[in-house]
Amino acid sequence: MRGIYVHVPFCVRKCGYCDFYSVAGVEEERDRYPALVEREMDLLLRAFPGEASVTADTVYFGGGTPTVLGPDRLNRLLAAIRSRLPVTENAEVTTEANPGTVTGADFVRLREGGFNRVSLGVQSFRRDTLAALGRIHSVEDVRTAYQDARRAGFSSVGIDLIFGNPGQREAEWQEDLDLAVTFLPDHVSAYALAPEPGTPIHEAIADGGIALPDDDSVARMYAAAMKTLREAGYRHYEISNFCRPGKECRHNLKYWRREGYLGLGPSAHGLLFPGESAPFGLRTANPPSLPDYHGALSDGRLPWGSPRVCDREDAWKESLIFGLRMADGVSSPSIEKKNGPPPEPVRGAVEHLIGSGLLLRDGDRLRLPERHWFVSNEVLQRLA
């Protein structure tokens, strides 16, 4: 089964660290948006009729800020997906929500429309940190949004947090963690801040106007998240993700397990398995531009640019690089069953990492030792 991702490219305003594609967007653009995604699905089904028989069991609306569209447009989009593509009855249907953009009535409408999981972009419970990050919402908005989502009956409510923020002290992060667990969320994501080049926070750091905590301090913050969340009963199932038993994000598991997913909307990426033409998968990438996306669809073209046909080496590398982010690691025989034996460069890189102690072989499984999780990107890059 596959997943379906819809990118909603609107935000109230840009946060100081973010380079995800989104625009402030006028009301007419938001009104037009569901019809554009519907057009993209229709073009996809015309070019790849076989996709109409691939069932999805997860749908994820991310952004941007999906809740800026409002519940009616989101529900319309979800209904449009279900009317064109098979989606299981008990699919996990998530929307990201920014606490400053959603009301209790909105959550009720979204539940009625079929959404059953919400991921709240909290980032911090401190007013000064929220201001430093350029978030639009207050701490009070977070409390209200969380309680509203619970009252509306979502079966899973998650909280996203950021640590290593400008000027942040370790004790402040610990307070954020301690407060987060009192909400009893089903899922917690905790990412170290990584301001992207070109963003205001990146510029301010380069100019010396603000400073991030040093690497050792950020590593201790990561360790504090592991300790606090584990002691509160959360399973640390992926490098940056924690959940109550059985509450993993099923949609994100598809990325880490290299299962198929459709990517709809500007800047969305996808991985299709259309059969013999691409036995190891076809990677699609929509342009990070609403006008370019709109232009392609108006010309009757899929907005993919040049999709990449993966070869066996791509499939093996991606299966390892994404799969090793999970606490359980990967099963080499399962990857081999899907993709054939590993090409020599991949086998060599794996053996080298095992020999250096950066990777563990545990029966049939390969895992990243926990002590390397904080620097996982550096380790996993060696497989690229």
Binding range to ligand SF4, per CB under 6 A, among 63-71, 198-206, 263-271, 299-307: 63-71
Phi, psi of 73 (to 5 degrees): -70, -40
Q: How far is CA 344 from the centre of its chain?
A: 31
Q: What is the DSSP string of 8-49?
A: E-B-SS--TT--SS-B---HHHHHHHHHHHHHHHHHHHHH-G
Give yes or no for residue 118 binding ligand SF4 (CB under 6 A).
no
DSSP strands (E only) in the chain = 2-8, 56-63, 87-97, 117-123, 156-163, 187-192, 235-238, 241-243, 261-264, 269-272, 282-285, 308-309, 330-331, 360-362, 365-367
Binding range to ligand SF4, per CB under 6 A, among 18-26, 47-55, 176-184, 349-357: 18-26
Q: Measured on CA atoms in the order 132, 174, 222, 247, is the torsion positive or negative?
A: negative
Give yes or no for residue 264 binding ligand SF4 (CB under 6 A).
no
**Comparison of 268 and 379: residue with beta carbon closer to ligand SF4:** 268
Q: Which helix (H) or strand (E) holds 108?
A: helix 104-113
The tokens for 263 are: 């990517």
Pattern of binders to ligand SF4 over 81-110, x per CB under 6 A? -----------------x------------
- How many angstroms separate the CA atoms of 155 and 346, rounded? 40
Binding range to ligand SF4, per CB under 6 A, among 57-65, 201-209, 271-279, 305-313: 57-65
The tokens for 52 are: 């109409």
Q: Could you tell me the smallest distance in angstroms from the CB atom of residue 143 to ligand SF4?
A: 18
Among 65, 129, 267, 319, binds ligand SF4 (CB under 6 A): 65
- How many angstroms separate the CA atoms of 323 and 180, rounded? 27
Q: Could you tell me the smallest distance in angstroms from the CB atom of residue 346 to ligand SF4?
A: 34
Q: Could you tell me the smallest distance in angstroms from the CB atom of residue 14 to ligand SF4?
A: 4
Q: Could you tell me the smallest distance in angstroms from the CB atom of residue 12 to ligand SF4?
A: 7
Give yes or no for residue 20 binding ligand SF4 (CB under 6 A).
yes
Site for ligand SF4 in 21-40 (CB under 6 A): 22
Q: What angle do CA 157, 159, 324 make, to 5 degrees?
A: 100
Give yes or no for residue 119 binding ligand SF4 (CB under 6 A).
no
**Comparison of 20 and 48: residue with beta carbon closer to ligand SF4:** 20
Give yes or no for residue 290 binding ligand SF4 (CB under 6 A).
no
Distances, alpha carbon 357 to alpha carbons 222, 324, 335, 370, in Å: 21, 14, 22, 11
Give yes or no for residue 9 binding ligand SF4 (CB under 6 A).
no
The tokens for 205 are: 């750091």
Give yes or no for residue 15 binding ligand SF4 (CB under 6 A).
yes
Q: Could you tell me the smallest distance in angstroms from the CB atom of residue 158 to ligand SF4?
A: 15
Binding site for ligand SF4 (CB under 6 A): 11, 14-15, 18, 20, 22, 63-65, 98, 121
